[in-house]
Structure 1
């Protein structure tokens, strides 16, 4: 089966060297040398300051909310991975959804101000599939109303906007380093803060609020990254340029081959591409289901991503129908893309999809044996 993604595993001999370091030191967690080394290398590579490694991208969001004092209502997008919304609800916050742009799939800035109430304290946009939000308009609105801005940058590793790291915008940006991501630490994540004082407070929060052997000065939890995860990250960072190159080749082949058959996300032309996902949009949900059926029959497993629209979740209380998000969520699917995807597999994916688009739903016998 050709799955939508496959975890990238680095050169084993390099990983073994880091594992040997861990065994030699006997230090496996609690801000060890490899965590410190990965922090420094990521700050340099990503061109950011005040980066904090944490145990996953979900806790990265939760810690960011706590550090920045977010409460009551938060404006966010209904088109994202569920953690963007579930973390808000988990922290006792009320997500208020602003609908998305039908072409970029990012939060539509024109929908934000109408959603602001006296209870609003923050805006949490998402750089969807690594495509930059309209950060200037969003941050103008945030400053106008005295709101904090926390960007969910789970898809935006390495992306630059106007020759500046996209991850440097807002009061904070969070990252996910889950094993499905193009850069990963098996499990893991990071928070990039605008202000150093927020970074220092977050360091306490991810370690139970402990600031010394006999001192606890902050409410905290355990959200630390361990040394084995940092070792994986260091190895993958060594190979990140190769990862980008291989993903870009697949991404560009899809783009060239499918441009006359499906719709694509409109990319921000001032934003670099990290080739993290390849989403395609069908003319209807029926056509998507037909295409997915054909691809599954050919042992290809794309993913409906993101589906469903988060404003339809059972634990969300909203009376507003977010028409664009629900429409896009019903018609979008991501194709397999990862460095280990073979040329003949990429060609098979394209041929299967084109055959399905050109022939009737009954013609699956033409594609299942490609």
Structure 2
């Protein structure tokens, strides 16, 4: 048995480089509340991501909650059932009603036609997810939002550094949110950010993430504590220094998987959408009925072999007990999402994954389909 291969493993910069920044923090004794590392990282990220205004937060889930709160939404929010649970929980925690619409089988994102059909007088916003870093149909969604006077917020937890036709995905929507969790392609241990379309929107977000405080003597709204610490921000600087290297290493893994897996009957490897500059955060495959075993069986066999994959996203959010009673959650309303959620499997991908390990994983999948062709 070889050593286990986990679904992801965080990239970390040289420890000595981080210690040098920690020494500066110790010297200044500024640990949080928008210190120098925090402020300079916001500026660097805005430049790197080609994003209008950036506000750092404690984590990605809180970033989405703060964005929803700062947008002053009401009533219903149209969103996807195919995402991590934080997306819908953030809507519900904002005292809003999620309305699920189906997804496209090509990019796993919300279908704009389904969005338009779901709009009612109670709709105040669309919350889309750039799933696996694939940009939503941003132009179509923008046109729909303008016609109906809706706000658009993107959960861009997977989309760090992604571009569409050369343009940053953060140039669409009223706000976008990012996660810098340890599992992400860019991480600050824990952390997140909100990209705001305007300086005025950023001002509202800054108040919302700092208890609603506007000044030393004025607290005009109810807020929370969503500030990133100096320790996380300092790490963020080092991670940004190495990010293009990380992206290239992930791309190498992605390309090697594709070379092995394309052409296996019953394994669909979704292509990178046309015009997208990817970040290679995830490597999803679909296990179709033509494959010798189903998705869950392949997952179990990989795990027994020391290869940890992930049924991501499973279960479907609309099937969770706190949402399954919603009219929009009925499976007949979401046929594609309910199909894909039972077929998807994300394979291990991270900068330190060796060619030999990628080959081992691909060979195992090939053997699972046709054991006479490949040695066990």
TM-score > 0.5, shorter chain as reference: yes
Q: Using the alignment, how far apart are the partners of 2:304 and 2:319 within structure 1?
A: 30
Partner of 2:298: 291
Q: Using the alignment, how far apart are the partners of 1:5 and 1:212 within structure 2?
A: 42
1:346 and 2:361 matched: no
Alignment of 1:155-166 (within 5 A): 155-166=158-169
Q: Using the alignment, how far apart are the partners of 2:362 and 2:259 within structure 1?
A: 10
Alignment of 1:79-98 (within 5 A): 79-98=82-101
Q: What secondary structure sits across from 1:267 in the alignment?
A: coil
Q: Using the alignment, how far apart are the partners of 1:259 and 1:205 within structure 2?
A: 47
Match of 2:326 among 307, 318, 332: 318
State the Cα distance separating 1:164 from its structure 2 match. 1.1
Instruction: Show CA shifts across 1:88-130 (max 9, x none).
Output: 1122111101100112111111111111111000001111100
Instruction: Show CA shifts across 1:257-297 (max 9, x none).
Output: 10012102243201111111000001149521221122112
Q: Using the alignment, how far apart are the partners of 1:292 and 1:8 within structure 2?
A: 25
1:182 and 2:185 matched: yes
Partner of 2:348: 336
Partner of 1:264: 269
Task: Flag the 1:277–1:28 CA change in 2: closer, same or farther, 3 A.
Answer: same
State the Cα distance separating 1:354 from its structure 2 match. 0.9
Q: Using the alignment, how far apart are the partners of 2:326 and 2:256 within structure 1?
A: 41
TM-score with structure 2 length normalisation? 0.94
Q: Using the alignment, how far apart are the partners of 1:357 and 1:131 within structure 2?
A: 28
The 8 Å contact of residues 261 and 269 in structure 2, kept in 1 or not, is answered as: no
State the Cα distance separating 1:51 from its structure 2 match. 0.5
Q: CA RMSD in A?
A: 1.6
Q: What secondary structure sits across from 1:213 in the alignment?
A: coil
Partner of 1:142: 145
Alignment of 1:110-129 (within 5 A): 110-129=113-132
Could you list the runs of 5+ residues in structure 2 that have no partner in the other structure?
none
1:302 and 2:304 matched: no
Could you list the runs of 5+ residues in structure 1 that have no partner in the other structure?
none
State the Cα distance separating 1:48 from its structure 2 match. 1.1
Q: Using the alignment, how far apart are the partners of 1:209 and 1:292 within structure 2?
A: 46
TM-score with structure 1 length normalisation? 0.95
Partner of 2:28: 25
The 8 Å contact of residues 105 and 265 in structure 1, kept in 2 or not, is answered as: no
- Tell me the matched-pair count: 364
